Structure 1
Amino acid sequence: MGQRAAIYCRVSTADQTCGRQEADLLAFAVKAGFDVVGVWKETASGARDDRAQRKKVMALAQARDVDVVLVTELTRWGRSTIDLFHTLGELQAWGISLIAQTGLQFDLGTPQGKLIASLMSVLAEFERDLLRERVRSGIAAAQARGVRFGRQPGQRVKADRHQKRALELVAAGQSYREVGLRLGISKNTVLAIVKRHRAEQAGP
């Protein structure tokens, strides 16, 4: 009896089909002597993370109900270098191999697998650096256009939300500490609310 294989196929848009991938992988499985337990197909772009069918394949792998996962190429499986590295690491931890039709097999027990893991680790770090750089560049460009990030001077989101109730409780004789504990804010925030209210009442 051969190794149990799960076939995973993915296309990016609704006007595409998984027919060619499925046929090629079924033929590949027969030639390699794998016992196919099922074919999982879905339509999802490379960037989307809501891949229900891939999650099912991962669940089978975690339960050790398959021995290998077959794909036509690694881009059909991974959303990004980081995602590919993480999911392959999970499969490896469960003792499951991911095999591409091209003959590329990810298995940390082999020299080829170790080399791929090392290269992917470097690429994943490179991708993270690129992402951080894009974020920093985006923030800098937005700031240059006058966009301001974070809480601005004069904004008192939490204090403003609790102001009415805090003033009522203080007027009822509760201490600032008691009011703060009751509303989930600090004693200093309660004090600031009261001071600001008194200043507004006093007027110019």
Structure 2
Amino acid sequence: MKIGYARVSTTGQDYETQLTKLKAEGCEEIFSEKQSGKSAENREQLQAALKYARKGDVLVITKLDRLARSMGDLWAIVRNLESKGVGFKVLDQAGMDTTTPTGKLMFNILGSIAEFERDLINARTAEGRQAAKAKGVKFGRKEKLTSEQVEALQADVKAGILSMQAIGDKYGIARNSVYRLAGSKDAAYEPIG
């Protein structure tokens, strides 16, 4: 029996194309999900497909990156399948079918190339981020308060007239942020007064 697996990373993406290809391939059972591909363990439908597969079955996917994002995960999944006597086939990479010797070779070569390409992308991204930081680009969420507002907040805290909650409300920030900006180490403590 052919078992299909389809995955997209975000809810904004659609896996209809994958489902169409898997049905055309003759997959009798198809598991699909919208989940990040970083780790195989956190993908419920992938785990269900792997558990469902029996000796003589073939797990079919459309593209290699739909199954795994690292060679470690890919190898673990394929070894698991092989130990159960289950084959593995990738539709968009012609000839990648672990039920044949040539397919096993293709699997190893393309898997290594995919990991190499992903490593290059990660390295370029890191270099770009470092270059941007060197130019003064700030990453992350924009600060809610200006340095002048932080100084005024600290003066309010020092004055001790308002509660931390009231100061937070005044500046539109959470009480814990008031403690952090005031330099207090105990966000749970608030003096009575």
TM-score when normalising by structure 2: 0.51
- Name which of 88, 99, 106 aligns with 2:78: 88
Alignment of 1:24-63 (within 5 A): 24-29=21-26, 36-49=27-40, 50-61=42-53, 63=54
Q: Which runs of 4+ in 1 moved over 3 A?
A: 114-124
The count of residues paired between Structure 1 and Structure 2 equals 117
Deviation at 1:47, TM superposition (A): 1.2
- Supply the distance in 2 between the matched residues of 1:100 and 1:40 (Cα, whole angstroms): 15
Tell whether 2:72 aligns with 1:100: no
Q: 8 Å contact 2:38–2:68 — kept in the other structure?
A: no
The answer to whether the 8 Å contact 2:5/2:60 transfers is yes
Q: Structure 1, unaligned stretches of length 5 or more? A: 30-35, 135-204
* Contact 2:88–2:99 (Cα < 8 Å) also in 1: no
- Shift of the alpha carbon at 1:60? 1.5
State the Cα distance separating 1:81 from its structure 2 match. Answer: 1.4
Question: Equivalents in 1 of 2:20, 2:5: separation in Å?
Answer: 12
Displacement of 1:19 after TM fit? 1.1
* Mapped partners of 2:13, 2:21: distance in 1: 16
Counterpart of 1:77 (choices 67, 75, 90) is: 67
Quick one: distance in 2 between partners of 1:73 and 1:58?
17
More helix by share: 1
- Residue 120 of structure 1 and its aligned partner are, at CA, apart by 4.9
Identity rate of aligned residues, in percent?
25
The alpha-carbon distance between structure 1 residues 46 and 52, as it changes in their structure 2 partners (threshold 3 A), is same
- Amino acid corresponding to residue 62 of structure 2 in structure 1: T
**Cα–Cα, structure 1 residues 20 and 115, in superposed 2: closer, same or farther, change >3 Å?**
closer
- For residues 108 and 118 of structure 1, the distance between their equivalents in structure 2, rounded to whole angstroms, comes to 16
AA at the equivalent of 2:57: D
Is 1:19 aligned with 2:9? no
Q: Secondary structure at the match of 2:25?
A: helix
Distance of aligned partners of 1:114 and 1:5 in 2 relative to their CA distance in 1, 3 Å threshold: same
Which has the higher Rg, Structure 1 or Structure 2?
1
Closer/same/farther in 2, CA of residues 45 and 119 from structure 1, 3 Å limit: closer
Query: C-alpha offsets along residues 69-92 of structure 1, whole Å, 9 cap, x if unaligned?
Result: 111111001131110011111212
Residues in 2 aligned to 1:89 and 1:120: alpha-carbon distance in whole angstroms:
14
